[in-house]
Structure 1
Amino acid sequence: MGKKQSLIHAVLLLPPVFTLLLWSVQQVRDIALPVTGLLLLSAIPALLMLLYEAVSALRRKTLGVDLLALLAIGGAMWLDQALTAAIIAAMAATGRWLDDYAAGHAEREMSSLLAKAPRHANRLEGGQQQRVPLDAVQPGDCLLVKAGEVIPVDGRLDDALAVLDESTLTGEAVPVTVHAAALLRSGSLNAGDAFRMTATATAASSTFSGIVRMVEQVGRAKAPVMRLADRYAFWFIPLALLLAGGAWLASDDVLRALAVLVVATPCPLLLAVPVAMISGISQCAGRGVLVKSSEVLEALARATLLFFDKTGTLTGGKARLVAIHVPDGAATDDVLRLAAALDQMSNHVMATAVVQAAHERGLGKLPLPTAVNEVAGAGLSGELEGRRVVLGSLAYVSSQLPSLSPWAQSLQARLDMEGASVVYVARDGVLLGALELADRLRLETPRALRMLKRCGVSHIAMLSGDRQDVAEAIGHGIGVDEVFAGLQPQDKLAHIHQARARGVTLMVGDGVNDAPALRAADVGVAMGAQGAAAAAESAGVVLLNDRLDRLAETVMVAQRSMAIARQSAVAGMGLSLLAMLAAALGWLPPVYGAVLQELIDVAVIVNALRALSPPAGLGQQQKLTVETVAQLNEEHALLNPLLQQLAALARAVPQLEHSQLRAELDQLQTLLHERLLPHEQKEEGQLYPAMARLLGGEDPLAALSRSHQEIFRQSRRLTMQIAALPVPASQLELQELQRTLYSLDTILQLHFAQEDELYQSMS
């Protein structure tokens, strides 16, 4: 609600309040003042406003719920009930002022983003800094982001590290540290020293510009906040008019009819319903979720069917290095270093993941390749340190090799079954190894789906363009009820159309191909931080921070807001109905009816404002600090290479010579005893007791503690097997060693995944 309208409502409120104060002074001091005339005059602005709104409603061929207030003020003025007219005018203006307060709260949450939008960028050219308009920035430009400035466009960090405040995008108030080659999203604030970055997108296609466009779209959209109120008014207004007319006819006293109209003035409908709904929208905005109208909020509260796109929604939509596979004797870091050096020249999502992994492993400054040639969708080739390096798909790399090794064919067959992507690396015609990349499940996805089930979503289906086996491996493992794979955009659309006959549907997606399904669903939900603009524009809800648990929280807020709106409307109308009966029987004169109605209105509006507070269970329980969670996640990230080494060694046991196997085992054992086991012991002795106190209950972390016991047991078993490994080892002994390695790898992977999910849910 704009400032102009708020000013109008304030002007409407002042005259009746001022004259009512004068009337009160006259009653106490018995001062001769022309109060009656002033009371009548003070009601005229409110009368004109209500008349304008009633005529506008009739032009739209609707029955406005403010009709009773108009009749009450007009009737009071006609019957020379000046005090009653002024009280009703003050009541209507007061209610609208409260409405302005709630709407202004929501508007401040949303429009605060607009004030942070950058207008210029510092471009570096030939060692000189130039301040240029944001629209002049192009991909590849080198930019300087000074301390306290907002990152102007999406890009990649060129310096060693940067400290960012990402609260605008994620809601997290604590700054985060990112390292060289990290992807930077526009809208984040530089909370540390100045740094250099390379733009990877224009301003128009960057993250923050998309968010600003969506906020402006929400601001321009006039929310039809009266749908619920209109349904109640459909029977309430005729009932009030019939009761007023019946009282007049039965008593032949027109004041009884006026008294009925006065207490029937439907401020619980006029104000309590939109206040509750706009307050709910404000709650969502404060959590980084844009709900574009109250109709959307109402539909969210009734949703029972949920459809998800897979890539970018259930999963992160970004490739991550999972493992490095090498033939006998090759060094994994050498393979990664060569691949990352060549991938510096590509903007492909897999190339970005490879470069990021190299920096995370501390491989140092990467050499720059020359004579680089990229075949879209296939791979790269170029000269690196005087030697020819090729990387890409198996078909692309093998086309430039004398022959294809059985090792590569076996690896490709196995990873195809797992649904992973592979980048092969060759140098001077020799295959050096392969990088396994995968799009990992979002940490919050399982928890979000469980929360949605508790909120009343009875059926969850996944829509994916992947193969059926790959989609099912993800979907069924996280509690999805149905998995539909191999779909084109028109297929997703057909599933949504069929589902709408069974209940209120939600569709969650992030890509351009999801836009038709988002528009077709009762409520489309777009992953807005990194999703396509078409998806965000087609959706009724936009998750600015790309977290699925925010959707579950939004449904909870919607359900609570709608419950409060109904409660306020029903309670207000129920009390008004009792007052109407009393007025019809002559027990409640018009002026006392106006006072009573004012008390009813204030009560239901105050009740509606409860929707500004979060539902029970959101933000009320104790949490781990963001710094603690960041430290824990960083410790897991440092241990991930150890897990990859463990898995690689488990696969390689049968092929390794005894001396090499023993060296690899000794190195692994050292890492286990110096890094992994101390980490687990510290968690068990210090972190878990602290977390248990936050969670409550008798022993909430018993399952994770049991995992620690199994990790210690398998580590001890491995130590004993290494110590007893004979020369040469028998086939049975190697199989037992391999089984222990696989067991330890499995329990560690599961344990880390469980901890990561728990840490995030408690942050």
Structure 2
Amino acid sequence: MVSRLPSFHFYVVGVTAFGLAVGMGLFLTERLAIAHALWLACVAPSFAILCKSTAHALRRREAGVDILALLSMGVAAATGEFLTAAVISLMVAGGRALEAFAQARAGAEMTALLKLAPNYGNRYEAGEWRQVDPETIRTGDRLLVRAGEQVPVDGTLEQEAELDESALTGEAALRPRVAGERVQSGVLNAGAPFEMIATAAARDSTFSGVIRMVEAAQQARSPTARLADRYAIFFVPLTLLVAGACWIFTGDMIRALAVLVVATPCPLILAVPVAIVSGMSACARRGMLVKSGGAIERLARAQILFFDKTGTLTSGRARLVAIESSPGIEPERVLQQAASLAQASSHVVAEALTVAARERGFSLCAPSQVTECPGAGLTGTVEGKAVAIGSFSHAVARAHAAPWSAAFLRHLNHEDGSAVFVDVDGVMIGALRLADPIRLDTPRALRLLRRAGIRRIVMLTGDRKDVAECVGASLGVDEVHSEQTPADKLSLIRSARAEGVVAMVGDGVNDAPALAAADIGIAMGARGAAASAQAADIVLLTDRLDRLVEGLEIARRCQHIAIQSAAAGMGLSIAAMIVAAIGYLSPPFGAVLQEVIDVAVIGNALRVLHIKPRSRQHVLPHGEVDRLHAAHLGLEPVLSEIRRLAEGLPALPRQSVATELERINELVVRVLLAHEKEDDIRLYPDLARRLGGEDPMAAMSGTHAVIFRTIHVLQRIAADLPADGPDEQGVQELQRLLYVLDAVVRLHCAQEDELFHTLDDSA
């Protein structure tokens, strides 16, 4: 039905235009009766459509713009002005076709969500496992869920399982579950096959409930009035008043018809839809699928933004953020051994390790004799050595806990995330900390949204309170709501709508109800769930949150131009109404004048197509961005050595401090200092030319100055150290400088990464 709607309206346009042209030919050959009959026939389709829409508007007690076009066509036909009626009919049909085209972009069906629903289950029957329809499963049935299959109904586990619950919870991590725990329908088995007992039928299970919430939320959202109809509130009564007064005081129906003709709201019927559709096209060029014209209008008025955390504000993927290693073990070796073994697993954590190793240019060895323990880790042989990677319990079952492991676990608990411990030949050599990092474009996107006038930013997440508040604090959001279920999110959205126009941004099935309930739902569609994309009004097709800023800019410019076009068109129409009321404008010439006004305002509306968001004006080639990011990864071993020396300095023999400091200074000068000086000499001048302005890289160059000074002070201290090493105060000063250098360089790299990501022309 949706796909046929635009074709129907364009068919009406084609038939009307053809009839008008043929009628004109007949008129010129003086076949007046046939020409009038044909023009009258051209009026019928648009007249019928307008009768229907006007009836609906009157039932809702609304004065839509359609009533003026209906009156104009009706009066023109009744007074024998058939050409005038046909011209009005063509204009109305054209506006309807454009509006129908915009509305056809909306995908209201929940087909994508339904495709995500489990479509079979394995039930134990007559001594064997049989594949059955989920609708036939009943409470108490014994079920088998194989690796890679979805849980068909809610139930209770009969044994341990490792589940990917991201479709429902929005959290990227896999969750180990033990026998007796509840499991929800729609989650994915990411480990070994397991058995469960059904505790609910399919219609009463979690996934079905999510679908029902989405449908209910969509139905509850009140329809947004068309922009044109809002202007009609004063324009329609004004037109009727002028035409009626003209008829009463002059007794000339033709003069009153001329008033109606020039007042036919084609600037509203045509210019506004053209501006809206042009705005949708402008958004599409920037990787945003806008499903309806109403979505553009609502986005332009958005005041409150709700964000899901995982996969929206954060990357949604585990990333290596730190390497801990035992004394005498290079951090690179820890990662190389772990990633080599991880190649044999399809686990998301194993993938994160191999990606991290390849980003750093490590060559990985092929593992052999690999055994995977679901939910625990891997064991195998790498270069003839027995290697084990996985959880702490998995690691200590094969090696003694390293002295640093207790402090590492405490630190891990404070900052959240997960860890992979690495054993080689029965010795724990290190651990790899992984986390779901904040997107590089998130801080900038939130800053620009505030600058654009968004007055309240709220973060929603299913995470623990401490984890959520840590992320919220780093981003500076106004509110943080943790441990949220889909129903909780839905309730918060509904409450906030009383305070202003609410937008919700999310990417998972658990976000779909909130997306549907918000005034404007925005889905991260590049990797997000199909359900959220289907429930949303706007889908970000590229995996960048800063596209939302560009969409907001386009929407507001689009609305401004649409209002400008409508206001200019109505102003010119009002002026023409006065001229027609005085008697200086006949209906046919009024129709021609109205066409001139239409062309002018439509031309103005088409300016939307040329909108260029201000937020992305300068770019770097994608290959250059990759090179710069790789250079930062190359600094990680140096920073790890700086941090390691800072932490271990108090325990070092005083006579060894000079040697260690000399080693670190040589590494810092050779790698870190060389990198930063290269940036200062070559990269920053190039970026300054691209960015424009007097000195756009001043802040970044200032950070370089701090780094250079800190390195210089470390070199001077090393040169002045006495033979027996530094005293207690000297050790503390060295620690302070090493920590400062580590922190400043890491912050600087993060700032540069954000800048490079912003200027990347490939995304």
Common fold by TM > 0.5: yes
Shift of 1:86: 4.9
Of the candidates 379, 390, 393, which is equivalent to residue 392 of structure 1? 390
Q: Measured at CA, do residues 258 and 410 of structure 1 come closer, stay the same or move farther in structure 2, by a change above 3 Å?
A: same
Question: Could you tell me which residue of structure 2 aligns to residue 79 of structure 1?
Answer: 79
* RMSD (Å) for aligned C-alpha atoms: 3.4
Secondary structure at the aligned position of 1:507 is classed as strand
The letter for the 2-side match of 1:583 is A
Partner in structure 1 of residue 176 of structure 2 = none
Q: 2:158 maps to what in 1?
A: none
Q: Which residue of 1 aligns with 2:281?
A: 282
Query: 2:701 corresponds to which letter in structure 1?
Result: S
Equivalent residue number for residue 309 of structure 2: 310
Alignment of 1:291-370 (within 5 A): 291-370=290-369
Cα separation, 2, equivalents of 1:650 and 1:284? 50
Contact 1:240 1:261 in 2 (8 A): yes
Q: Is the 8 A contact 1:68 1:237 kept in 2?
A: yes
Matched letter for residue 541 of structure 1: I
Deviation at 1:607, TM superposition (A): 1.5
2:544 is the counterpart of 1:540: no
* Aligned counterpart for 1:16 among listed residues 9, 15, 20: 20
Q: 1:444 aligns with which of 423, 441, 446?
A: 441
Distance in 1 of aligned mates of 2:6 and 2:223? 16
Within a 5 Å distance, the mapping from 1:411-426 to structure 2 comes to 411-426=408-423
What is the CA distance between 1:599 and its match in structure 2? 1.4
Residue number among 449, 454, 461 corresponding to 2:451 in the alignment: 454
Q: Which residue of 2 aligns with 1:514?
A: 511
Distance in 2 of aligned mates of 1:38 and 1:451: 62
* Helix, strand or coil at the partner of 2:705: helix
Q: Write the distance in 2 (CA, Å) between the matches of 1:99 and 1:61.
A: 17
**Contact 2:303–2:456 (CA under 8 A) maintained in structure 1:** yes
Paired residue type of 1:69? A
Determine helix, strand or coil for the equivalent of 2:527. Answer: coil
Question: Residues of 1 paired with 2:535 and 2:82: CA distance?
Answer: 52
- From 706, 713, 730, the counterpart of 2:709: 713
Percentage of identical aligned residues: 48
Q: CA deviation at 1:67?
A: 3.9
How many angstroms does 1:672 deviate by?
2.8
Structure 1 match to 2:465: 468
Distance in 2, matches of 1:554 and 1:294, equals 13
Q: Find the counterpart in structure 2 of residue 587 from structure 1.
A: 584
**What is the Cα deviation at residue 368 of structure 1?**
1.8
Alignment correspondent of 2:50:
54
Alignment partners' CA distance in 2, 1:510 and 1:648 = 39
Q: Measured at CA, do residues 728 and 435 of structure 1 come closer, stay the same or move farther in structure 2, by a change above 3 Å?
A: farther
Compute the displacement of 1:476 (Å). Answer: 2.3
Counterpart CA distance in 2 for 1:375 and 1:582 is 83
Query: CA separation in 2, counterparts of 1:518 and 1:616?
Result: 25
Contact 1:629–1:759, Cα closer than 8 Å, also in 2: yes
The residue that corresponds to 1:162 in the other structure is none
Distance 2:33 2:465 in 1: 79
Aligned ranges for residues 484-633 of structure 1 at < 5 Å?
484-615=481-612, 617-619=614-616, 621-633=617-629
* Alignment correspondent of 1:697: 693
CA contact (8 A) 2:553 2:613 kept: no
What residue is the counterpart of 1:746 in the other structure?
743
Instruction: Give the aligned partner of residue 208 of structure 2.
Output: none
Aligned partners of 1:68 and 1:265 also within 8 Å: yes
- Aligned-pair CA distance for 1:95: 5.5
SS in 2 for 1:391: strand
Instruction: Report the CA distance between 1:414 and its aligned residue.
Output: 2.1
SS at match of 2:306: strand
In structure 2, the residue corresponding to 1:270 is in which secondary structure?
A: helix
Q: Give the direction of change, closer, same or farther, for the CA distance of 1:374–1:625 in structure 2 (3 Å limit).
A: same
Judged with a 3 Å threshold, the aligned counterparts in structure 2 of structure 1 residues 355 and 315 are, in CA distance, closer, same or farther, namely: same
Choose which of 625, 634, 654 in structure 2 pairs with 1:638. Answer: 634
Give the distance between the partners of 1:45 and 1:687, measured in 2 at CA.
Answer: 70
Q: Which residue of 2 aligns with 1:652?
A: 648
What code does the residue aligned with 2:509 have?
A: V
Distance 1:732 1:365, change over 3 A: same
Q: Do the aligned residues in 2 keep the contact of 1:36 with 1:82 (CA within 8 Å)?
A: no
CA gap of 1:15–1:272, structure 2 versus 1, over 3 A, is same
Once the two structures are superposed, residues 203-236 of structure 1 have per-residue CA deviations (whole angstroms, 9 ceiling, x without a partner) of xxxxxxxxxxxxxxxxxxxx98972222333443
Report the equivalent of 1:132.
none
Query: Match of 1:440, SS?
Result: coil
What displacement does 1:283 show? 1.2
Deviation at 1:286, TM superposition (A): 1.3
Whole-Å Cα distance in 2 between the matches of residues 276 and 257 of structure 1? 31
The secondary structure found in structure 2 opposite 1:441 is coil
Offset, 1:646: 2.9
Q: Which amino acid aligns with 1:240?
A: T
Report the Cα distance in structure 1 between the residues aligned to 2:425 and 2:546, rounded to whole angstroms: 49
Unmatched segments (≥5 aa) in structure 2: 106-145, 149-189, 191-221
How far did residue 453 of structure 1 move? 0.9
Deviation at residue 96 of structure 1 after TM alignment: 6.3
2:20 corresponds to which letter in structure 1?
P
**Aligned AA (2:265):** P
Whether contact under 8 Å (1:462, 1:484) holds in the other structure is: yes
> Could you say if the C-alpha distance between residues 380 and 525 of structure 1 is closer, same or farther in structure 2, counting changes exceeding 3 Å?
same
Counterpart-to-counterpart distance in 2, 1:71 and 1:362: 74
Aligned to 1:150: none
Letter of the structure 2 residue corresponding to residue 586 of structure 1: G
Q: What are the residue-to-residue correspondences of 1:218-229 with 2, within 5 Å?
A: 227-229=226-228
CA distance 1:718–1:421, shift in 2 (3 Å): farther
Which segment drifts farther, 716-725 or 56-65? 56-65
**For the structure 1 residues 374 and 724, does the alpha-carbon distance in structure 2 shift closer, same or farther, using more than 3 Å as the test?**
farther
Output one character per residue of 1:457-513: Cα deviation in whole Å (capped at 9) or x when no partner: 101122223333333333223331222233333333332232222111112122232
Distance in 1, Cα, partners of 2:377 & 2:625: 37
Query: CA 1:340/1:659 → structure 2, altered by over 3 Å: closer, same or farther?
Result: farther
Superposed displacement of residue 288, structure 1: 0.9
Shift of 1:19: 5.7
Distance 1:37 1:93, change over 3 A: farther
Whether contact under 8 Å (1:646, 1:668) holds in the other structure is: yes
For residues 499 and 612 of structure 1, the distance between their equivalents in structure 2, rounded to whole angstroms, comes to 33
Paired residue total: 643
Letter matched to residue 71 of structure 1:
L
CA contact (8 A) 2:9 2:96 kept: no
Q: 1:8 to 1:372 in 2, by over 3 A?
A: same
Aligned residue runs from structure 1 range 20-39, under 5 A: 33-34=29-30, 36-37=32-33, 39=35
Q: Supply the AA of the counterpart residue of 1:9.
A: V
- Partner SS state of residue 614, structure 2: coil
Q: Is the 8 A contact 2:57 2:64 kept in 1?
A: no
Report deviation, 1:58: 5.0
Whether contact under 8 Å (2:418, 2:433) holds in the other structure is yes
> Which sits farther off after the overlay, 450-459 or 687-696?
687-696
* In 2: Cα distance, 1:611 partner to 1:646 partner: 53
| Residues 100-131 of structure 1: per-residue CA shift (max 9 Å, x gap) | 9x869x98xxxxxxxxxxxxxxxxxxxxxxxx
Deviations 1:685-715 (A, max 9, x none): 2332232233333322211111111111112
**C-alpha deviation, 1:40, in angstroms:** 2.7
Provide, for residues 608-663 of structure 1, a one-character-per-residue CA deviation record: whole Å limited to 9, x for no partner.
212222256255x4444444434333332333333333333333334456798767
Match of 1:733 in 2: 730
- TM-score, length of structure 1 as denominator length: 0.77
Cα gap change, 1:344 to 1:254, in 2 (>3 Å): same
8 Å contact kept, 2:657–2:725: no
Partner SS state of residue 429, structure 2: strand
User: Which consecutive residues of structure 1, in runs of 5 or more, have no partner in the other structure?
Assistant: 27-32, 108-137, 141-199, 201-222
**1:699 aligned partner, one-letter code:** D
- 2: CA distance, partners of 1:95 / 1:702: 52
